[in-house]
Amino acid sequence: MERRIMNAIHPTNTKIVMGMLSCGILAAACFASIPAQAAFVSNGSFEFPNTSPGTVMNINAGTEPAGFAWTVTTGNVDIVRNGFAGSTATAYDGAQMLDLVGSGSIGGISLLLPTTTVGTQYTLSFAYANNPFNGPTTASASVSLLDGASPLFSESITHDASSTFNYNWASFNRVFTGTGNPVTLAFDNTIAIAGGNGGILLDAISLTPVPVPAAIWHWFGCSLCSLSQIMASPNPGGGVTVTNQ
């Protein structure tokens, strides 16, 4: 014996609504796979203050200008604009970069970053080179990320491949896990160009959350689409047939 249970829960517009919902969820999933570009690092490419072409701006501790955002912690630093001393070498990003040693042989900067999220992974990235204007030699600096007084990491960078034609920028990338606290990013020059007045060049400093792999979001979105279509499709004959033996 058969009895048919009429299907009254799948009107025509249900399929439309479910389809729209599933596409919206899929779109959100796709956008979620794009790295968040949060402004964790202010003035990371040192484009502010804007200097004249071919010039440098020297900044001493306690005299940081508006827009600079960073704190000079030791010595003094230079903002260097493309074309300095007739050089054809260019900044990694934009038109300006920072020389960790202004005048003398030491220099350092720091920046207090916004609070990170506990358990979230972040990537610290920047470009670095050595100042080539006092002859080819080696420059080094330390880069540290501090949670209060406790270092999340501290590493050394060294560069000796710059020329006045090409800085031959190197890239630094380091992943760390957020603690839920504000963190301080610090750079300190450790080896200056022979004779002083030149150190590590910095540019394009950024801190971004590590995105969830796009493939996972795509699989999740497609699964939701398939499920919604199954739920929205009416049964043939308008009901479910149950057979009793």
Segment 163-212, tens digit of pLDDT: 999 999 999 999 999 999 999 999 999 987 766 678 999 999 999 999 87
**How large is the average pLDDT for residues 138-154?**
93
**Domain carrying residue 229:** 2-34+213-243
The answer as to whether 39 is a domain residue is: no
Same domain, 17 and 89: no
**How large is the average pLDDT for residues 36-57?**
87
The answer as to whether 71 is a domain residue is: yes
Confidence (pLDDT) at 108:
98
Q: How far apart are CA 230 and CA 104, in angstroms?
A: 72
Q: How far apart are CA 150 and CA 158, in angstroms?
A: 24
Residue from 201, 204, 206, 205 nearest 107 by CA:
201
Same domain, 90 and 125: yes
- Highest mean pLDDT, choosing among 34-38, 153-157, 193-197: 153-157
The answer as to whether 177 is a domain residue is: yes
Q: With cut-offs at 50, 70 and 90, classify the pLDDT of residue 101.
A: very high
Same domain, 30 and 74: no
Q: How far apart are CA 240 and CA 99, in angstroms?
A: 75
Confidence (pLDDT) at 226:
52
> By mean pLDDT, which of 68-77, 174-183, 216-225 is the weakest?
216-225
* Residue 68 confidence (pLDDT) above 60: yes
Q: With cut-offs at 50, 70 and 90, classify the pLDDT of residue 149.
A: confident
* Residue 154 confidence (pLDDT) above 90: yes
Same domain, 67 and 93: yes
Same domain, 148 and 186: yes
Domain count, the chain: 2
User: E strands, 22-70, where?
Assistant: 56-60
The answer as to whether 198 is a domain residue is: yes
The answer as to whether 140 is a domain residue is: yes
Same domain, 221 and 205: no
Same domain, 67 and 176: yes
The answer as to whether 30 is a domain residue is: yes
Q: How far apart are CA 12 and CA 15, in angstroms?
A: 6
> Whats the size of the chain, residue-wise?
245
Asked whether the whole model's pTM tops 0.85, one would answer no
Q: How far apart are CA 193 and CA 245, in angstroms?
A: 92
User: Using CA atoms in the order 189, 192, 198, 200, what is the torsion angle rounded to 10 degrees?
Assistant: -40
Confidence (pLDDT) at 194:
64
The answer as to whether 45 is a domain residue is: no
Query: Which residue carries 């200097």 as its tokens?
Result: 51
Q: How far apart are CA 91 and CA 189, in angstroms?
A: 19
Same domain, 182 and 230: no
CATH of the domain at 182: 2.60.120.260
The answer as to whether 44 is a domain residue is: no
Same domain, 65 and 182: yes
Residue 160, SS3 per DSSP: coil
Same domain, 205 and 228: no
